[in-house]
């Protein structure tokens, strides 16, 4: 069996789907891994590291894919890339089926089966295969560092000969995987941290990280669905939450927002009026920018200055920590492949509780 790892071609994408450590583990199980020249270069993994792990380094995409039974990528392939796949190959990547119309004819042509990494079910057994979780960890960490570097203040308390500096106040909105990592990172940097989430289970997790839970009255017992995700708040609940958060936002220096509702636009938690009341110098890093943003003024990829309040619409953040983001992504892919491997080859069983929900295209046919 052969696994191909192409170089990513999407703009700003610096990750690679398998880091050398995961390649080494696959090679030890007898799998042949072919990595395209420079596939790991932007993540600081040179071709020599892949060769040392036992991979073959191919000089072109065509060579990488011609004999690969499984192709693993971070981002969905372009139509031209998909046409280089071997007939009947299995693609493992982020795929976002709703936005994949352009590549579908090529996948049909090559009878490709697609396992979409966003669809890893949120069950305990699949936690180690969940790229959304691993990449959210990276995003939560980096968001705080970005915010800290944009702030006109220190985060920690300092006692110096030039006087004492009070610690900054960081507020994390949405305390799922990214939010909890943001809390931990802001705490390590010495900030006083508070957080809010609509799901009741989160309160204890926030407190166990040494942060204060604010607006506890806005938590609804039915805020969480069966899969552990948040439900959209009603208009009434949204109004109530905004009223509770408004005063708190006036007192903070750094806000990291991470609130998401699967399949829906991100909830607007910070309105323009709320920003107008915030102190100049406050920084908002909006990790929900790609799905509409948690702040009404967010512009994806841009910094908006609203009377001295800076709002950064953060996009592609995991790609800015490419070494560890790739290492974690690769471990997720490796665990998934190990789960799918039977007698030395990868098979997709549509009745499998992990592969079934992930399989969005089966032998060239789109599944719903
Ligand atoms: P997410 O990215 O969908 O959302 C981020 C956070 O935003 C969530 O905590 C959500 O409750 C919160 N949110 C949504 N609307 C909000 C609002 N109006 N106000 C404030 N906060 C709001 O979620 P996520 O971080 O990927 O994960 C959510 C949960 O799923 C976590 O508890 C996590 O532990 C769990 N999880 C389980 C598995 C598994 O078992 N395999 C894998 C990943 C995550």
Q: Is the Cβ atom of 77 under 6 angstroms away from ligand 1?
A: no
Q: Ligand 1, residue 132: give the atom nearest the CA.
A: 26
Q: Is the pLDDT of residue 275 over 90?
A: yes
Binned at pLDDT 50, 70 and 90, residue 227 comes out as confident
Catalytic residue among 32, 100, 229, 352: 229
For the cut 90, the answer to whether the pLDDT of residue 333 exceeds it is yes
pLDDT band, residue 224 (cuts 50/70/90): confident
| Position in ligand 1 atom list of the atom nearest CA 120 | 41
Q: What does the pLDDT read at residue 220?
A: 74
Report whether residue 139 contacts ligand 1, using a CB cutoff of 6 Å: no
Quote the ligand 1 centre to 18 CA distance (angstroms).
Answer: 26
Q: How far apart are the first and last CA of the chain?
A: 29
* CA nearest to 205, candidates 225, 178, 223: 178
Q: How far is CA 14 from CA 11, 44, 318, in A?
A: 9, 9, 9
pLDDT digits (tens, 9 = 90+) for 38-76: 999 999 999 999 999 999 999 999 999 999 999 999 999
Active site residue 122: yes
Q: Which of 228, 236, 274 to mutate to test the pocket of ligand 1 (most atoms within 8 A of CB)?
A: 228
Task: Determine the distance separating the centroid of ligand 1 and the alpha carbon of 213, expressed in angstroms.
Answer: 16
CA atoms within 13 A on the CB side of 224: 15
Task: Please confirm, yes or no, whether 50 is among the known catalytic residues.
Answer: no
Residues 6+ away with beta carbon under 8 Å from 223: 198, 199, 200, 230, 231, 233
Is 141 designated active site? no
CB distance 242 to ligand 1 below 6 Å: no
pLDDT of residue 52: 98
Question: pLDDT confidence of 200, banded at 50, 70, 90?
Answer: confident
Evaluated on CA atoms 333, 338, 343, 349, the torsion sign reads negative
Task: Find the range with the poorest average confidence among 164-178, 213-227, 329-343.
Answer: 213-227
């Amino acid at each position: 069996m052969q696994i191909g790892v192409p170089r990513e071609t999407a703009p700003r994408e610096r990750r690679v789907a398998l880091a050398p450590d995961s390649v080494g583990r696959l090679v030890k199980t007898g799998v042949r891994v072919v990595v395209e020249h420079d596939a790991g270069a932007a993540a600081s993994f040179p071709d020599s590291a892949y060769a040392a792990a036992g991979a073959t380094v191919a000089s072109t995409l065509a060579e990488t894919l011609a004999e690969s039974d499984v192709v693993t990528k971070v981002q969905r392939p372009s139509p031209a890339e998909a046409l280089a796949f071997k007939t009947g190959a299995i693609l493992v990547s982020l795929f976002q089926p709703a936005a994949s119309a352009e590549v579908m004819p090529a996948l049909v042509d090559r009878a490709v089966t697609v396992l979409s990494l966003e669809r890893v079910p949120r069950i305990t057994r699949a936690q180690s295969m969940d790229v959304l979780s691993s990449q959210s960890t990276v995003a939560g960490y980096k968001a705080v560092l970005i915010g800290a570097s944009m702030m006109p203040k220190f985060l920690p308390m300092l006692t110096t000969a030039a006087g004492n500096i009070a610690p900054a106040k960081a507020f994390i909105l949405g305390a799922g995987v990214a939010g909890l990592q943001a809390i931990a990172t802001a705490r390590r940097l010495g900030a006083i941290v508070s957080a809010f989430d609509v799901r009741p289970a989160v309160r204890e997790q926030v407190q166990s990280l040494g942060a204060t839970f604010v607006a506890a009255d806005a938590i609804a017992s039915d805020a969480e669905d069966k899969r552990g995700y948040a439900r959209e708040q009603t208009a009434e609940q949204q109004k109530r939450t905004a009223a509770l958060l408004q005063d708190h936002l006036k007192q903070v220096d750094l806000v990291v927002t991470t609130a998401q509702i699967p399949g829906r636009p991100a909830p607007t938690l910070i309105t323009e009026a709320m920003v107008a009341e915030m102190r100049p110098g406050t920084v908002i890093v909006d990790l929900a920018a790609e799905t509409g943003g948690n702040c009404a003024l967010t512009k994806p990829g841009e910094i908006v200055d609203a009377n001295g309040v800076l709002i950064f619409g953060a996009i592609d953040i995991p790609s800015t920590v490419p070494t560890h983001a790739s290492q974690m992504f690769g471990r997720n892919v490796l665990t998934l492949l190990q789960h799918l491997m039977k007698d030395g080859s990868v098979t997709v069983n549509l009745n499998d509780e992990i592969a079934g929900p992930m399989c969005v295209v089966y032998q060239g046919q789109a599944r719903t």
